[in-house]
Structure formats: structure tokens, C-alpha cells
Amino acid sequence: MEMAELVEMIQERQGKTSTESYANLIGIRGATLYRYYNKQRDMSIEVIRKLIQFYKEQGDTTMVDALKEFAIGDGDSSPPQ
């Protein structure tokens, strides 16, 4: 799973909610989410854990699986540091 794919999945789930509001729901700063969307920052394992927890609470197993795949790395991309 590449970061670009993961970010696209997050954006799809965000829908029309503002980036700041969606980030607050997840438990991260809006500026952080904005930087992910604009490829200005890589995701830390701490943020991936927050995202997994958020999407678990939403019952979104597809997103949880994608985040786990991204965190582990699938051979095509480097896992986060």
C-alpha cells in the first residue's frame, strides 16, 4: 500500500467534512492531515495507530486493513519510520 493510495482512501471517507473537523474526529491536528494530503509529511506509527483506532470505532475494516498493510509494508513501499 502506497501512501498516495492511503491518503486517497482517507479523503474519500472525509467527504465534505472540513479537513480540520475530520482531523479532530480522528484525534490529530488539521495541519497534520493537510500535510499528508499534500505529500509534505510521512505518517508516523503513532498517527497510524490513531487512524486505526478511529476507523475501528467506525467499523471500517477495509480502512483498518489498509492502514495495517501500510504500516507493515508489502514489499512495494517502505513502512513508516
- Model pLDDT for residues 6-57, shown as the tens digit of each residue: 999 999 999 999 999 999 999 999 999 999 999 998 899 999 999 999 999 9
Looking at the domain assignment, is residue 35 inside a domain?
A: yes
Question: Is position 33 within any domain?
Answer: yes
* 80 is a domain residue: no
Q: What is the CATH number of the domain that holds 45?
A: 1.10.260
Q: Is residue 77 part of a domain?
A: no
Residue 81 lies in a domain: no
Question: Where do the DSSP E strands lie in the chain?
Answer: none
Give the separation between CA 66 and CA 61, rounded to whole angstroms: 8
Please count the structural domains in the chain.
1
Q: Tell me how far apart the 2 most distant CA atoms of the chain are, in Å.
A: 34
> Looking at the domain assignment, is residue 42 inside a domain?
yes
State the residue for C-alpha cell 487512524: 51
Which range marks the domain in which residue 23 is found?
3-72
pTM assigned to the model: 0.84
pLDDT of residue 77: 47
